[in-house]
Each structure stands twice: as structure tokens, then as C-alpha cells.
């Protein structure tokens, strides 16, 4: 080949490379414009989050990333793949396979962050289904609050990609109101849902009325009676005959506003007196203890009295706001050790103790907290699952992502409050709980812990091999000193006689009317 020809070819090559550079900068320009005009397809969850791809990617259910989905993902058919994963999710949903539903929904949102229905389902699934079901399937149990919190985060993330989505504001508002009990966030989302209300997906076509009522309920629950009153006024402007609006307006004006006005004037004693009178007349009023607690704390600087009021409110009405406030005050007063009586009233709070106590004492390890509250006779064990001589077993189980786990041969060492109570080297690994020594003691909670050491050393990966405690029947029946109620009478989910009374139906602030 002649020099001239070779030079021509090199020149052409260089020119074309120059064109490539030009095209690249043109691409950058278009990409910027697509970003400005919100036309670029984001990558969820890689595009956001400070931790970047390495942590987030691992959270995707890789085992669900089938060839079809993967092909769709890489070949530019993400939306189609998202539709497929969404369909698959619906099948799992029908089967009640919650962990797989979670995986499919996460995958769907990853593939198509603009799939509003998928975000809506994800948030709902986490906040409602998983929070109710998954604690029975994982060990240590994941507190339901964590799932509720995840659900809220999912809504917020969905809203990042779909700002102005009425569907997501609506779902987020309801979950914050009903499940998370965070009235501040609920109010924020309710206001946005009202602003973005779209009659198309709203089946009732009464969204504005319903959500303005909810604003009122949220205001009441947050003890912001002024805001609640204003919301109910808005309701009445929309529908002057709305019974909820009329009733709530009367209630607030009659019961709470006089005390609130008195407190604003500085007449604290009168405010306390007025609220106490309401409490006497209507002992079931859910908001008076909280209002009193506020006045005690802010006006009278009496944190002890405020804590007592919150505790009363929390115990009797299971108000999450009350519990949170009580917890805050206990921390400020250095009385966190007293958590037991406060939180023992419901399953939810027992789980919270896991978070507070087990995970802090034994982070990442195994532990079962047995909560004991002495009954009126001073001897009853309040945890309905446990009785003296109870046999406890650990089993390998499928983890939340459906991977089958197995326990290798080894030795299980059981500790109760740090004291070795049993050692078992044959599967199934069990121990018998010796609770008798603790009966009548000062202690109101015990920590049962199991350490498992595989034969030949090594560690069991607890996050993969989750263990499920199986609460089996005692080996000896009719044992003296057993639970007060005979076994055959004990229904699943029903507390024993020493357990908490069934709480009143929590149906929001509107119940008071």
C-alpha cells in the first residue's frame, strides 16, 4: 500500500474519531436536556442514595432476576420487564408468599421507577403485610415498626420519581396516619394529596372531603386542636351537613378549647382543672391525658407528671404518640429501665423491646426475650407463649428471600440471663426453660440466648440461616404452678389471664365523637 493511500486512511480515521468526540458531546448535551426536561429514565435504586450501587444492588433479589427479566433489563426493555415482574408479583400475592412479593416489587421499582402502582404496592406491602406477618417468619424477629418505616420510605422514594402522584400521596398519608402513627407526616401528605387530587383514580370521588376529615383526625391525634378545628371547618365548608365535621367541631370547642385558651392565658391551674373535669366526665377521652401531659411538661415543668399522663394515655389507648413521648421523657429522666410495664401491654411493644434490649445487648446475635410481668398474685408469667418447663427448639428455616437454610451438626448452648442452662448437640436442638427460680422474683424480663457452634468450628451465618423458635408444649402436662388457664383453653393470639386486656378498637381520632 502506498504512503499516500495509507496517509489518507489515517486521516479519515482521525476525522471519524473527531466526529465520535463531537457526537459524544452532543449526547452529553441531549442527556442534560433530557434531565432538565425530566425525560431521562432513572435507575432505581442506583441513581440515588449516598451508599451507591454496592449496597443497594445487593438488596435486589438476584435469584428473581431471571433470564427474561435480565434480558429485558439490559436490552432496553426495562418497562416490559417491569410489567412481567409486576404480574409475577401478583401471582405470589395470591399465594401469600410475602417475601417473594417484596422481591418482585423491589425489582419492578428498580426496573421502572415510574411504575406508581408498584411503589404504592411496595409501601403498602411493607407497612401492612410484612409488618404483620414477617415477625413470625424471621428470627430474631424484625420489629413491625421497621417494616412500617420501610413502607414509608418506599412511598417517599416513589414520590421522588413520581412527584405529584396523587396515588402515592394518598397511600403515604393513610399509612402515616393509620400505621406509623406519625401525624406530622400524615398531615404533610394529606395536604399534598388534597393538592394533587385526581378524580380519575378516586373511586369514591369524595377524596377532598375524606382527606380533609382525616386532616382533622390527624390534628386531634397530634393534640393540635387548633389545626384539627380548622380542618373540620374546611369539611363543613365543603359539606355543611357532614356529621363528622359537626360532631368534631362541637367536641373540640366544648372539651378542649376552653382548657387550651386558659393555658394560653397563663391560667395553668384552670386549664388542668378543666381537662381533669373532662377526664372524670368522659374517662374514655383519648386526648385529655396527652393535653394534660403537654401542660405538665411545658407549663409546669413537671416531667414526672407528664410521663405519668403519657403512660396512662399509652397504656389505655395504645397511642403511638403517647409511647414515643413517654419513651422520650423516660430517657430524659433516666428511667429507661422502667420500660417494661409501659411496653408489656401489647405485642407491638414487646417487639419494640427486642429492638431496645436484645439488639443492643446482643447485636447481630441470637436472642429471645421472654417478658415476664408478675400478675396480681405476683406469680403469673405474662408471656402467653412461655411456661415453666417449656421446651424451646431452634430450627433452620427458609430465610425471607426463600433460600433454604440448614443447620450443620454442632452444639447449641442455651443461656438464660447469661447463665448456661442447657447444652444440646443433637438435632433438633432444644432446651427446657427453668422458669421456676424466677417466679416471684423482682425481675420482669429474662433473656434467653442460644449460641450455636458447628462441629469442626466455623460460624453459622445467622443472617442467612435464620432460626425460628418453636414454642412447643411442655413435656409434662398439668404441672403445678403452670399457667392459670388450661392449655386447651388457650387460643392462638389470645393472652392468658395475666396478660393484657383486649385493647379498644383504634379507629383514629374520630372515635371520640
- Provide the binding-site residues for other proteins, judged by CB under 8 A: 9, 12-13, 16, 19-24, 26-27, 29-31, 33-34, 37-41, 43, 46-47, 52-54, 73-77, 79-80, 82-83, 86-87, 90, 112, 114-117, 120, 162, 164, 167, 201
Give whichever of 207 and 474 is closer to other proteins, judged by the CB atom.
Answer: 207
- 168: nearest Cα among 94, 109, 83: 109
Query: H/E/C letters for each residue in 52-76?
Result: HHHHHHHCCCHHHCCHHHHHHHHCC
- 390 close to 383: Cβ distance less than 8 angstroms: no
Residue-wise DSSP of 148-163: HHHHHHHHHHHHHHST
Q: How far is the CB of 27 from other proteins (least distance, A)?
A: 5
Give whichever of 19 and 489 is closer to other proteins, judged by the CB atom.
Answer: 19
Question: What 3-state DSSP class applies to 233?
Answer: helix
Residues contacting 408, CB < 8 A, separation 6+: 454, 455, 460
Phi, psi of 480 (to 5 degrees): -65, 145
Give whichever of 24 and 470 is closer to other proteins, judged by the CB atom.
Answer: 24
Give whichever of 9 and 253 is closer to other proteins, judged by the CB atom.
Answer: 9
Q: How far is the CB of 208 from other proteins (least distance, A)?
A: 19
Q: How far is the CB of 193 from other proteins (least distance, A)?
A: 15
Q: How far is the CB of 190 from other proteins (least distance, A)?
A: 20
Give whichever of 39 and 461 is closer to other proteins, judged by the CB atom.
Answer: 39
For residue 445, give Cα distances in angstroms to 350, 357, 374, 380, 460.
11, 10, 10, 13, 27
Give whichever of 108 and 390 is closer to other proteins, judged by the CB atom.
Answer: 108
Q: How far is the CB of 19 from other proteins (least distance, A)?
A: 5
- In angstroms, the CA 172 to CA 156 distance is 8
Q: How far is the CB of 20 from other proteins (least distance, A)?
A: 6
For residue 427, give Cα distances in angstroms to 280, 353, 430, 465, 474.
59, 30, 8, 15, 18
Give whichever of 75 and 494 is closer to other proteins, judged by the CB atom.
Answer: 75
Give whichever of 73 and 271 is closer to other proteins, judged by the CB atom.
Answer: 73
Q: How far is the CB of 46 from other proteins (least distance, A)?
A: 6
End-to-end CA distance of the chain: 97
- In angstroms, the CA 330 to CA 3 distance is 89
Give whichever of 116 and 390 is closer to other proteins, judged by the CB atom.
Answer: 116
Give whichever of 51 and 337 is closer to other proteins, judged by the CB atom.
Answer: 51
- In angstroms, the CA 449 to CA 365 distance is 9
Residue tagged 417484596 (cell numbers)? 102
- In angstroms, the CA 99 to CA 84 distance is 18
3-state helix, strand, coil in the chain (%, to 5): 55, 10, 35
Residue tagged 360532631 (cell numbers)? 247
DSSP H or E stretch at residue 209: helix 207-221
What are the cell numbers at 437? 427460680
Q: How far is the CB of 58 from other proteins (least distance, A)?
A: 14
Q: How far is the CB of 105 from other proteins (least distance, A)?
A: 13
Residue tagged 403511638 (cell numbers)? 320
Q: How far is the CB of 167 from other proteins (least distance, A)?
A: 7
Amino acid at each position: 500500500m502506498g504512503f499516500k493511500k495509507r496517509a489518507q486512511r489515517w486521516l479519515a480515521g482521525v476525522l471519524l474519531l473527531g466526529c465520535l468526540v463531537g457526537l459524544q458531546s452532543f449526547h452529553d448535551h441531549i442527556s442534560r436536556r433530557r434531565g432538565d426536561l425530566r425525560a431521562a429514565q432513572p435507575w432505581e435504586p442506583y441513581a440515588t442514595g449516598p451508599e451507591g450501587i454496592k449496597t443497594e444492588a445487593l438488596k435486589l433479589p438476584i435469584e428473581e432476576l431471571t433470564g427474561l427479566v435480565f434480558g429485558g433489563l439490559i436490552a432496553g426493555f426495562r418497562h416490559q420487564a417491569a410489567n412481567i415482574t409486576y404480574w409475577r408479583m401478583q401471582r405470589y400475592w395470591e399465594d401469600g408468599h410475602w417475601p417473594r412479593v417484596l422481591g418482585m416489587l423491589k425489582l419492578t421499582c428498580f426496573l421502572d421507577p415510574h411504575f406508581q402502582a408498584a411503589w404504592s404496592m411496595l409501601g403498602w406491602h411493607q407497612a401492612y403485610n410484612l409488618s404483620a406477618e414477617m415477625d413470625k417468619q424471621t428470627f430474631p424477629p424484625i420489629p413491625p415498626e421497621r417494616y412500617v418505616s420501610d413502607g414509608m420510605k418506599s412511598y417517599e422514594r416513589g414520590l421522588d420519581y413520581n412527584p405529584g402522584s396523587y396515588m402515592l400521596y394518598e397511600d403515604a398519608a393513610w399509612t402515616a396516619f393509620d400505621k406509623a402513627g406519625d401525624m406530622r407526616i400524615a398531615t404533610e401528605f394529606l395536604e399534598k394529596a388534597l393538592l394533587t387530587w385526581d378524580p380519575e383514580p378516586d373511586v369514591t370521588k369524595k377524596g377532598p372531603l375524606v382527606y380533609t376529615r382525616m386532616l382533622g383526625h390527624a390534628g386531634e391525634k397530634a393534640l393540635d386542636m387548633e389545626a384539627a378545628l380548622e380542618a373540620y371547618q374546611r369539611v363543613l365548608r365543603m359539606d355543611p351537613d357532614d356529621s363528622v365535621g359537626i360532631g368534631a367541631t362541637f367536641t373540640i370547642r366544648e372539651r378542649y378549647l376552653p382548657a387550651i385558651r386558659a393555658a394560653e392565658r397563663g391560667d395553668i391551674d384552670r386549664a388542668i382543672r378543666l381537662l381533669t373535669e373532662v377526664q372524670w366526665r368522659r374517662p374514655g377521652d383519648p386526648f385529655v391525658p396527652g393535653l394534660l401531659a403537654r401542660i405538665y411538661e411545658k407549663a409546669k415543668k413537671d416531667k414526672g407528671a407528664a410521663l405519668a399522663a403519657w403512660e396512662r394515655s399509652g397504656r389505655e389507648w395504645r397511642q403511638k404518640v403517647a409511647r414515643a413521648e413517654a419513651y422520650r421523657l423516660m430517657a430524659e429522666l433516666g428511667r429507661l429501665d422502667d420500660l417494661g410495664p409501659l411496653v408489656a401491654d401489647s405485642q407491638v411493644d414487646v417487639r419494640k423491646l427486642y429492638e431496645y434490649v436484645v439488639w443492643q445487648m446482643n447485636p447481630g446475635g441470637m436472642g429471645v426475650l421472654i417478658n415476664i410481668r408478675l400478675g396480681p398474685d405476683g406469680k403469673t408469667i405474662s408471656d402467653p407463649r412461655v411456661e415453666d418447663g417449656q421446651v424451646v427448639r431452634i430450627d433452620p428455616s427458609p430465610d425471607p428471600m426463600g433460600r433454604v437454610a440448614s443447620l450443620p451438626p454442632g452444639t447449641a448452648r442455651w443461656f438464660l440471663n447469661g447463665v448456661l442452662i442447657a447444652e444440646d448437640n443433637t438435632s433438633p436442638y432444644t432446651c427446657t426453660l427453668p422458669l421456676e427460680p424466677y417466679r416471684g422474683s423482682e425481675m420482669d424480663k429474662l433473656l434467653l440466648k442460644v449460641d450455636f457452634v458447628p462441629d469442626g468450628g466455623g460460624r453459622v451465618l445467622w443472617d442467612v440461616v435464620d432460626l425460628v423458635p418453636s414454642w412447643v408444649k411442655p413435656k409434662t402436662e398439668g404441672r403445678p404452678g403452670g399457667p392459670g388457664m388450661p392449655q386447651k383453653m388457650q387460643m392462638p393470639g389470645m393472652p392468658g389471664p395475666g396478660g393484657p386486656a383486649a385493647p379498644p378498637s383504634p379507629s383514629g381520632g374520630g372515635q371520640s365523637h
